[in-house]
Amino acid sequence: MSERDGMGQKLLASGRDCKTIRAPKDMNEPWASRVWKILRRIGGVLLLAFLVGVALNRISISLERSARPAGFARGIFQGALMPMSMPNLLVGNNVTIYSERNTGLPYKLGYTMGVNVCGLGFFGFFFWRLNRWRK
């Protein structure tokens, strides 16, 4: 015997051994609301990618005008921005992701550190969210 009570819970049995389960929140939400939620998230990601692309283009142009060779700090900065340049590269925009005029080892160490810290931030957040979803 199963019936619903007033709070969206399904009663599995009646009487002394009555157990209830809660319906997932998504099941109580109308489908149109879920579609708009997904579309807003996709739109937000695309808007963020566009804004990062515009900022990355302006930053790379201003950094390449500098007469000094790129050092450790600029290596960290360009390394952190490198993964975010992928949307620009996919649509055919030529974005500078590695400075040809650099100081050698300090720049390469900074670049590597920037890429790794950016990856740690992205994948750390992703796996943290994945772990929360599993609970």
Q: What is the residue extent of each domain of the chain?
A: 29-134
**pLDDT cut 90: percent of the chain above it:** 15
Sequence-ordered list of residues with C-beta below 8 angstroms from that of 9, at least 6 positions apart, any chain:
20, 21, 22, 23
- pLDDT confidence band for 12 (50 / 70 / 90): low
- pLDDT confidence band for 20 (50 / 70 / 90): low
- 106 burial type by CB count under 10 A (0-12 exposed, 13-18 middle, 19+ buried): middle
Give 28-85 pLDDT, tens digit per residue.
668 788 888 899 988 988 888 778 777 777 877 777 787 788 899 989 988 888 877 7
- Least reliable range by pLDDT among 4-8, 57-61, 94-98, 108-112: 4-8
> Is pLDDT larger for residue 33 or for residue 128?
33
First CA to last CA distance, the chain: 30
Sequence-ordered list of residues with C-beta below 8 angstroms from that of 116, at least 6 positions apart, any chain:
79
- pLDDT confidence band for 111 (50 / 70 / 90): very high
Please report which helix (H) or strand (E) contains residue 34, including its range.
Answer: helix 31-64
**What is the model's pTM?**
0.57
93 vs 36: CA distance, rounded Å: 31
